[in-house]
Structure 1
Amino acid sequence: MKYNRRRFLQIMTASGLVVASSCDRQTPPSQGEQLSSLGIGGSPILLAIPLAYLIEESRLSQKVPNLEFIPVRNHEQMKALLTSGQGQMAANPTLLSAGLYQKEFPLRLLNVMIWGNIYVLSPDSSIATWEDLRGKSVLIPFQGSMPEMIFRFLATQSGLNPDEDLTIVSTQDFQSTAQLLLVGQGEAGVFAEPRASSVVAKGKEQNIELFYSLDFRETWGGVTGQTARFPQAGVSILKSLTDQHPDVVELIHAELRNSLDWIQENPTAAAELGSKYMDLPPAVIEQSLAKNRFEYLSAAEAQSELEVFYQSLMQVNPKLLGGKLPNADFYVEG
């Protein structure tokens, strides 16, 4: 593979759907043939670092000659990437993966790697509990998607009615959420890392201090009685890969596990590598890593926690995932 920074920035700023230069991926090779290329989709989240490791540092390139990282900006572009076949695997929220699967898209969840790095940030230092959000306006990106669903679940479980006790302002993405928060168009905002660390840094440049007011992990543990973590994001993969190239999938499992050890042992180098793929300063990424919870579980190993997670979000929207849990085939072993 070779990663092209100019191409990355062009795609990140494009207004249309993602277009990959190598478009022959729609027809996967038959079982037994070597996989010659692999399109890997990623957005500017911390999972871009394990993907970058997979591409630049792992043994995968010895088995698959052409590895291409395809950057996307939002959930719609991620869906388009996977449904078009231009990308055969991608890092995304576990809810997005399950939603595509429930719509009978041939996708499976490979793993869970991020276990909660979502926060409410605010310039108001007095906001320290969910009750403190009463009467406030809260900026939340990706209307109807995971950040809003989990916010609504945690707020409700903490004694608030999100539609009556506060004002939810939907935004396009984390970047627009940051822009609005910094100009005072909201009293608090929901951010995942590394965007949380990024907006805190931008605030300092403008003499605006932002506080990590609420940690979704802590609230999750408190309201569910479970461990203070939730299966936020992982890697999904086309079913054709698991069916036709199990050896490649096995190697991806192994190298993504290795990536987390490498990140923990080499945070500065990991931040430098991630900066190429996320277009964020290495210092911001390294700071963000300290607030993130990485842990590798195959989807099958994480199935019970995923099901609790999905069922919790379905309390907010009973029509989510078509009103039922994914079946066992969704969860890849490894």
Structure 2
Amino acid sequence: MMKKFLALLLSVCLLAALCAGCGSTQTTAEDPATDETTAAGTEDPVTIRLGGLKGPTSMGMVKLLSDNDAGTTTNHYAFTMAGSADELTPKMLQGELDILAVPVNLGSVLYNNSEGSVQLLAVNTLGVIYIVEKGGQTVTDWESLRGQTIYATGKGSTPEYALNYLLEENGLDPATDVTIEWKSEPSEIVAQMAAEDHVIAMLPQPFVTVAQDKFSDLQISIDLTEEWDSLDNGSQLNTAGLIVRTEFAQEHPEAVATFLKEYAASTEYVNANVAEAAQLVGQYDIVEASVAEKAIPYCNIVCITGEEMKTSVEGYFQVLFDQNPASVGGTLPGDDFYYIAQE
């Protein structure tokens, strides 16, 4: 059992880079979840221990957090934030968190390595990856990348798999038709841009926004989310999702249903009120407010649930599995991985 748990933690560390920035863990409350119900069977309000990462993964929940602090949510949310998923996933597996926002494929890894102890509640972020160009306007489509050098981050994880898949679907061999130079973090690409007049790169938000603030001649050339959608293959480019402990979902179905409603309302607010939401993003130390205001429109913040979520994610996982089975935990998750509320 210890060997299996250590293997799981290693998988978490390798696959959790996409949506995480730098930062330390913060906890705004410590109340444990309760399981009290009324005599009539209606569940009393409970405390939901909610976790999130710095970056787009958590931007959609800021109105929910604000309402929680104001005491206007149905349930209470004890929020913990961290800079990387490997700081929070052990807490999830040990029963110290109830719902967690993570890279969506990491949810499958946890499911496969914990005998189904987590389920996917919702997709909360679609693709946040873009091909950008500094110092030129040569990149107009995929074919225009032939023979070019692309600086990128995320080797061995979903950004690499998504880029390879889209290159192949558009007639390019990632191994021979382009040169991909992998960097360990986006800041290295920004440094490359400062050193060279012309740079083509693959960057996630909000680092695209950060780079645009530094280089006035930096432009977005290809939106990987739009390109994935244009393939019309029934799936979507999914960056992050919300996972729930299976035991918690079974014990508190009403609390989970209420959470999903409040979370959906929060994402709608963020997308409709960018300036105000950006201030909340800064307030909760997810991303600086000035960066968030520019980045939110490009972060594809959503709340996709139920059968629509399942269809979107199954196709996406198949793409990842075909390139590297370990990216989803060695095998495609079963139907019970997808939380489908019973009417």
Residues 308 and 34 of structure 1: is their aligned pair in 2 closer, same or farther, counting only changes over 3 Å? same
Corresponding residue number in structure 1 for 2:119: 108
Residue identity over aligned pairs, in percent, reads 22
> Is 1:306 matched with 2:292?
no
Supply the RMSD in Å over aligned alpha carbons.
Answer: 3.2
Deviations 1:276-295 (A, max 9, x none): 23454433322222234333
Match of 2:102 among 84, 89, 92: 92
> Is 1:289 matched with 2:296?
yes
TM-superposed CA distance for 1:108, in Å, is 1.0
Mapped to 2, the partners of 1:271 and 1:213 lie a distance apart of 25
Corresponding residue number in structure 1 for 2:227: 219
> Is 1:51 matched with 2:58?
no
CA contact (8 A) 2:64 2:262 kept: yes
TM-superposed CA distance for 1:315, in Å, is 2.5
CA contact (8 A) 2:122 2:304 kept: yes
CA contact (8 A) 1:136 1:187 kept: no
Deviations 1:286-305 (A, max 9, x none): 22222343332214431112
Matched residue of 1:128: which SS?
coil
Aligned residue runs from structure 1 range 187-198, under 5 A: 187-198=199-210
TM-score (norm 2): 0.77
CA contact (8 A) 2:47 2:75 kept: yes
Residues 186 and 239 of structure 1: is their aligned pair in 2 closer, same or farther, counting only changes over 3 Å? farther
Aligned residue runs from structure 1 range 223-302, under 5 A: 224-226=231-233, 229-278=236-285, 280-302=287-309
The amino acid of 1:56's aligned partner reads: S
Deviations 1:55-111 (A, max 9, x none): 22259875544x333222234335344334443322222112122212235111111
TM-superposed CA distance for 1:31, in Å, is 7.0
The amino acid of 1:113's aligned partner reads: N
Matched residue of 1:301: which SS?
helix
CA contact (8 A) 1:41 1:81 kept: no
TM-superposed CA distance for 1:126, in Å, is 0.8
Matched residue of 2:65: which SS?
helix
Matched residue of 2:298: which SS?
coil
Match of 2:178 among 153, 156, 166: 166
Mapped to 2, the partners of 1:186 and 1:102 lie a distance apart of 43
Mapped to 1, the partners of 2:140 and 2:46 lie a distance apart of 52
> Is 1:83 matched with 2:93?
yes
Residues 198 and 68 of structure 1: is their aligned pair in 2 closer, same or farther, counting only changes over 3 Å? farther
Residues 84 and 23 of structure 1: is their aligned pair in 2 closer, same or farther, counting only changes over 3 Å? farther
| Larger deviation, residues 52-61 vs 160-169 | 52-61
Matched residue of 1:154: which SS?
helix
Matched residue of 2:304: which SS?
strand
Matched residue of 1:285: which SS?
helix
Aligned residue runs from structure 1 range 131-146, under 5 A: 131-146=143-158
Q: Which runs of 5+ in 2 are unaligned?
A: 1-20, 38-42
Mapped to 2, the partners of 1:138 and 1:269 lie a distance apart of 35
TM-superposed CA distance for 1:227, in Å, is 7.0
TM-superposed CA distance for 1:152, in Å, is 1.3
> Is 1:325 matched with 2:329?
no
Matched residue of 1:332: which SS?
coil
TM-score (norm 1): 0.79
Match of 2:218 among 182, 201, 210: 210
Mapped to 2, the partners of 1:242 and 1:173 lie a distance apart of 36
Deviations 1:101-156 (A, max 9, x none): 12235111111132333211221421222233334333333332211111111112
Match of 1:127 among 129, 135, 139: 139
Corresponding residue number in structure 1 for 2:78: 68
Matched residue of 1:235: which SS?
strand
Aligned length: 313
Mapped to 2, the partners of 1:266 and 1:57 lie a distance apart of 15
Deviations 1:149-170 (A, max 9, x none): 1111111212222233333333
Q: Which runs of 5+ in 1 are unaligned?
A: 1-10
Mapped to 2, the partners of 1:328 and 1:308 lie a distance apart of 13
CA contact (8 A) 2:56 2:301 kept: no
